[in-house]
Amino acid sequence: MDGATPTTTTLTELYHAYYGSTSSPTRFIKAVNSIAASNVKADSSAQLRYDPAIQADGESLEELQATLIARYPQILTSILHDESYSAARALLGTSYHSIQKFYSHSTWVEQGNVGILEGLGIPGSDLGNLAGESDNVCTSCANPQGECSANVILGSGLSTGYYEYEDEVGASFLIPKPPTGGKCSHGGALDASASQPAEGGINKDTTSPCFSPHFYLHSYAAEMAVEATDHYLNVILDAVGEEKYRRLFDLYFGSALSICIDTTGSMGDDIDAVVDQVEQIVAHSTVELYILVPFNDPEVGPLISTSDAQVFLDAVRSLYAHGGGDGPEMFWGGLQMALKATPDYGSLFCFTDADGKDGELMEGLISLAQQKHVKVTVILSDIYKKSEQTDEGGDTKLVTSVEEYQRLADSTGGLLISTDKFDVSDIVAIIGEGVETSTVTLESLAEMTGSLSVSLPIDDSILDFEVRITGVLSQAMLFDITGTAYDLTDKAALEATAGVEVISHTGTFLAVRFLSPRHGVWSLSVSASVDYALAVSATSSLDFLGEFALLDPSPPHPHYRKTEGRPLTNTVYYLEVTLVGHLESEVTRVSKVEFVDKSGTVLREIAYAGDVADQMYIRTDPLPDHSFYIKLFGHVSSGNMFTRMMPVLITPVETSVEVWASLQDLSAKPGDSASAKFIVTNYGLESFFNIYGTDDMGFLVNVEPTRIYLKNNQSLPVIATFQVPLDATHGTVSTVIVTAQSEKQTQSVNSAIAHFVVLPQESDFEPPTCSLVNDPICTGFNFNGICDTLQWSVRATLRDTGSGLYRVDAVPEGTTFGVSDFLPGTTADVETYYTATCCTTQVDIIGVDGVGNVGKCHIDMGVVGGLIYDFEVDQVGETWLVLHWNITPSDYAIDYYDLSINGVPSQHITCHDVSF
């Protein structure tokens, strides 16, 4: 018997219930948070926050529906055709914003509707009876401000409130309230129209009468918004299928193995070594997605992205060294292609023996890797020898070398490993570790010289931890809580010690794991005469996500606005901390946040005295002008201290680049062009700024101007122009990066990242049709205990005359499901055959067309009798439980129940022992 999921269950608990307690939910929570962030961004983006068709204001419901319907195929095709999940999440969050605002801004609730408007945002659906221009919808409230009730005219057409406020940028978007005296206002302290007849307002945004006249309906509107969100998700699930739906939310147990590799002529031996490594990793790791990007000169790619290990291995084995006449190669272009395909919170391994000749891409790609939380490890072989070669072709591209590779690794939490020849036995372990999914960072130090001593709190949630040190060491000693010493430079002694695993041990790199460690504070002492770096990671369910946000109190909707790109120096932010796994790890206190530089020096220390929660907002001090990591400190129930570090190196700057474009500006049909505006603002010394633009699909043809002069606190626009080839596939997504860098303060560089989507050539809002050839029958067998003794079958015909059928499916899986003569894109009839036992009485035969419209045959033979539902634990004692459950109606008497705990049979209960 399976119990219902409690409404108080956290995302982490839900994830662990399905994937197990040792698997990290961080990627899943990041995916959910990114959708939520796009939702919130609709209240901060200049092109969205004022638009009535986005915010459900000003009786613009037809425009709202049209906008949602136009975005629907962008969401679906970006998943179905391009598997660009980051773009899909961004688009999905924007649609959720409008869907949820509909219930708090419209009169849907006040008109007495008890269910959601299922057609909202769905192609082929309309919104029903809408109020006309001359229709009265509201009457005046007793006061223009504060609580107001019974001011919506029952039976009038569906409407939304008008919202007016002073804002220079928003003035061109706002729709003035008509002077008829019968239209509703949004209402609240920020709405100037609330004092115009009909006075008052209808919004249900908050529980405060100061901001929401219908505050008392907030909970009801919120419940409807949640139900509508769930409905929209189910539509997407039907359209994309279970596998791609899981990818949308980064819901999978394993991780990704992502490799980009230089295939120029000098890499022959290195390619052979990598092939050997990859074969071992595939054989011994849990990998769900394999990514391979070869880069040469001038070619980059092709990209291989597959869940099939054999396809990946065949692609790796087919690599061979060729070409590359000059020294530097297209390293950054290879990284760009690999980054697009690598899932968030993944690890990417880049192999090369050369400088990078396309260094103008570097700053934007570092920003993209940080945004995706992808750790980039660069493995170099003989680079100093090849760097001596010159580019005889006179190429003017910006050349980068070891220093820039080191910055890439430091900025993303990866490693820079330099070796004369790849040692398979050592490097394979490093890459294999990158496939693990539950790794958290405890400490990271770089560019160290001399001696250091560092404390390592090992809290109760840590299953094992690993120390990695890069450099030639004089001494490295680790001490546990009892004072027992481990000499990290003595490989033989480590290998002979129980509970210690030597992962890699060379003259310049060591990685040692400690299994089932004693919990408490360990200490590590290291000394060396040359530069070295160390990192300590652990396997744990306790982690955190951190984002900087600014509190924006301005209309139309005050909110926390997350910072995109690098944050600004000397600016006070709110650090949004999402604490992952704090319930399972029994976190009792979060005590402080530290900003520390690469050497471990504390630049800022911010105490926190608030409650422990899934999300916490911690007000920072002004950000330093040096790069830093974020460390979080606290305690668990045992009293042991915990610490976690975000591996991303944050570099505050004095420049911002913002996307100042609508979704329409960042999309076009094949053969068409489009342009999008980006705003560059300088908060530092007046200077010329160089502007760089790139995108991974080559749609970006021009960025103008390429050089601008900005005074302090001055902003200027930059226009990016796109041209979509005629043969481009709709749903293709190109990641666009626009970067601005000060010539006077070269470290002051920032980037804006956007997604450009290829639209379908023709609009298609008609779903596929589905018709049943026969009706299934389970009469007399639709009861628990006998339902599995009879099979039923059904035939159905699917057809789509627009963009053609793209996907055919049946949910749930039956005994068999057959599809005849189906090729994606077909407009001919497709015959399906489905069989199942009579235990399966509700089935959908689903057809999805090329733009994501869903058509289905729904089969419903009623509920199987005698099934248990609403299974709950009412009371708990030391040795007993009081259980409660319901049973679906049955024509047969119930004889007994079998109770299982954690899948193990526990008790056989006959019916006379049960109290009803």
pLDDT digits (tens, 9 = 90+) for 26-76: 888 888 988 998 998 888 887 788 899 999 999 999 999 999 999 999 999
Q: How many other CB atoms are there within 10 angstroms of residue 342's CB atom?
A: 26
- Asked if residue 500 has pLDDT above 50, the reply is yes
**Nearest CA-CA partner of 648 in 362, 462, 407, 379:** 407
- Class (C level, CATH) for 541-645: mainly beta
Q: What is the pLDDT of residue 663?
A: 82
In eight-state DSSP terms, residue 143 is S
Buried b vs exposed e over 233-268: b needs ≥16 C-beta within 10 Å? eebbbbbbbeebbebbbbbbeebbbbbbbbbbebbe
- Asked if residue 382 has pLDDT above 70, the reply is no
Q: How many other CB atoms are there within 10 angstroms of residue 464's CB atom?
A: 17
Q: The tokens of 159 are what?
A: 């409407």
Alpha-carbon span 81 to 77, nearest angstrom: 5
Encode pLDDT of 617-673 as tens digits: 999 999 998 999 999 999 999 999 999 999 899 999 999 999 998 888 999 999 999
**Nearest CA-CA partner of 398 in 694, 688, 710:** 694
pLDDT-derived band at 911 (thresholds 50, 70, 90) equals: low
Residue range(s) occupied by CATH 2.60.40.10 in the chain? 655-755
Q: How many other CB atoms are there within 10 angstroms of residue 150's CB atom?
A: 9
Q: What is the pLDDT of residue 916?
A: 44
Alpha-carbon span 241 to 224, nearest angstrom: 25
- Fold classification of 769-860 is Immunoglobulin-like (2.60.40)
Compute the chain's Rg from CA coordinates: 30
Percentages helix, strand, coil for the chain (3-state, rounded to 5) are 20, 35, 45
Collapsed DSSP state (helix, strand, coil) of residue 787: helix
Options 3.40.1030.10, 1.10.1040.10, 3.40.50.410, 3.40.50.1000; which CATH number does 254-436 get?
Answer: 3.40.50.410
Q: The tokens of 37 are what?
A: 């962030």
Q: What is the pLDDT of residue 465?
A: 95
The residue with greater pLDDT, 813 or 866, is 813
**Nearest CA-CA partner of 131 in 178, 72, 66:** 178
Residue 357 φ/ψ region, left for φ over 0, alpha for ψ in the -120 to 50 degree band, beta for the rest: alpha
Alpha-carbon span 571 to 622, nearest angstrom: 5
- Asked if residue 908 has pLDDT above 90, the reply is no
Residues 82-99, mean pLDDT to the nearest whole number: 93
Alpha-carbon span 266 to 354, nearest angstrom: 9
- Asked if residue 870 has pLDDT above 60, the reply is yes
Q: The tokens of 894 are what?
A: 């119930």
- Class (C level, CATH) for 655-755: mainly beta
Alpha-carbon span 736 to 334, nearest angstrom: 16
pLDDT-derived band at 786 (thresholds 50, 70, 90) equals: confident
Q: What is the pLDDT of residue 541?
A: 84
Alpha-carbon span 427 to 766, nearest angstrom: 53
Say what the alpha-carbon torsion angle 651, 652, 654, 657 is, to the nearest 10 degrees. 70
Q: What is the pLDDT of residue 176?
A: 94
User: Mean pLDDT of all residues in the chain?
Assistant: 88
Alpha-carbon span 468 to 136, nearest angstrom: 71
Question: Do residues 817 and 834 lie in contact, with contact meaning Cβ atoms separated by under 8 Å?
Answer: yes
* Domain 439-540: CATH architecture, name and number where available: Sandwich (2.60)
pLDDT-derived band at 281 (thresholds 50, 70, 90) equals: confident
Q: The tokens of 114 are what?
A: 């008890």
- Asked if residue 421 has pLDDT above 60, the reply is no
Residues 167-182, mean pLDDT to the nearest whole number: 88
The residue with greater pLDDT, 428 or 736, is 736
Q: What is the pLDDT of residue 392?
A: 46
Q: The tokens of 93 are what?
A: 């969050």
- Beta-bridge mates of residue 751: 739
Pairing of strands 805-811, 749-758: unpaired
Q: What is the pLDDT of residue 12?
A: 80
- Asked if residue 19 has pLDDT above 70, the reply is yes
Task: Tell me which of 22-31, 529-538, 700-709 is least confident.
Answer: 22-31
Label each residue of 369-384 as H, E or C. HHHHCCEEEEEEECHH
In eight-state DSSP terms, residue 411 is H
Collapsed DSSP state (helix, strand, coil) of residue 874: strand
Alpha-carbon span 86 to 369, nearest angstrom: 13
Q: What is the pLDDT of residue 428?
A: 58
Encode pLDDT of 242-268 as tens digits: 989 999 998 876 678 888 988 887 777
Cis peptide before 198 (omega within 30 of 0): yes
- Asked if residue 280 has pLDDT above 80, the reply is no
Q: What is the pLDDT of residue 582?
A: 78
Encode pLDDT of 396-419 as tens digits: 457 777 888 888 998 998 888 776
pLDDT-derived band at 817 (thresholds 50, 70, 90) equals: very high
**Nearest CA-CA partner of 524 in 444, 591, 447, 616:** 444
Question: Do residues 171 and 192 lie in contact, with contact meaning Cβ atoms separated by under 8 Å?
Answer: no
* Range 890-897 contact pairs with CB under 8 angstroms and sequence separation of 24 or more: 890/783, 890/784, 890/865, 890/866, 891/783, 891/865, 892/783, 892/785, 892/786, 892/865, 892/866, 894/866, 897/1
Residue recorded with tokens 């054999």? 310
Residue range(s) occupied by CATH 2.60.120.380 in the chain? 439-540
Encode pLDDT of 291-332 as tens digits: 999 988 788 889 999 888 889 888 888 888 776 655 677 889
Q: The tokens of 849 are what?
A: 């067309």
Residues 875-881, mean pLDDT to the nearest whole number: 76
The stretches of 285-330 forming alpha helices (DSSP H) are 309-317
| Widest CA span in the chain | 92
Residue range(s) occupied by CATH 3.40.50.410 in the chain? 254-436
